[in-house]
Amino acid sequence: MALSKPPIYSDFSTSFARNPVQNDVVRLTDFDAVKRSVRNLILTGKYERLIDPEIGANIYNLLFEPMDPTTTILIRKAIEITLQNYEPRANIDQIIVTPDYDRNRYFIQVVFSLNTNQRQATVELFLNRIR
């Protein structure tokens, strides 16, 4: 019987759900851990984290700009710079930002692979204006 290899990357779940078997906080491993980190970095604004106020893509300010190609490029560039600076576990292969003019939101798709694995994973989310 082959032993499964231990996860390389591990984070705890932000829901703080309890693992009934281990009676500990549920862990996210490898791709799931990095996906959660990518999502959190995209959704975090500057000065939201006390320890490192510069962390985050800070793209919510851009959501109130006109929906045009320039704003789309600025959102993509902000995500790219943030992930390059704060997520060293991921090799970003592609960042796609698609405006949804009818619903006044952006569809974000980040395709990446782990530094330790060539398999690709995708994070998808919508960015809406919040008032």
Give 23's pLDDT tier (boundaries 50, 70, 90). Answer: low
In a domain, 71, yes or no: yes
In a domain, 120, yes or no: yes
Amino acid 99: pLDDT: 95
For the whole model, what pTM was predicted? 0.80
Q: Mind listing the pLDDT tens digit for each residue in 4-20?
A: 565 566 565 555 565 66
Q: Mind listing the pLDDT tens digit for each residue in 48-70?
A: 888 888 888 889 889 889 999 99
In a domain, 16, yes or no: no
Q: What are the strands, taking DSSP E only, across the chain? A: 10-12, 18-19, 24-25, 27-29, 90-100, 105-114, 120-128
Degrees to nearest 5, angle at CA 15 with 129 and 96: 40
For the chain, the domain total comes to 1
In a domain, 117, yes or no: yes
In a domain, 115, yes or no: yes
Amino acid 10: pLDDT: 58
- Cα(39)–Cα(11) distance, rounded to whole angstroms? 14
In a domain, 12, yes or no: no
Q: Where residue 85 sits, what CATH number does that domain have? A: 3.10.450.40
In a domain, 52, yes or no: yes
Domain that holds residue 81: 29-128
Paired strand residues for 28: 11
Q: Mind listing the pLDDT tens digit for each residue in 88-124?
A: 888 999 999 999 999 999 999 999 988 877 888 899 9
Residue 29, pLDDT above cutoff 70: no
In a domain, 86, yes or no: yes
The mean pLDDT value of the chain amounts to 82
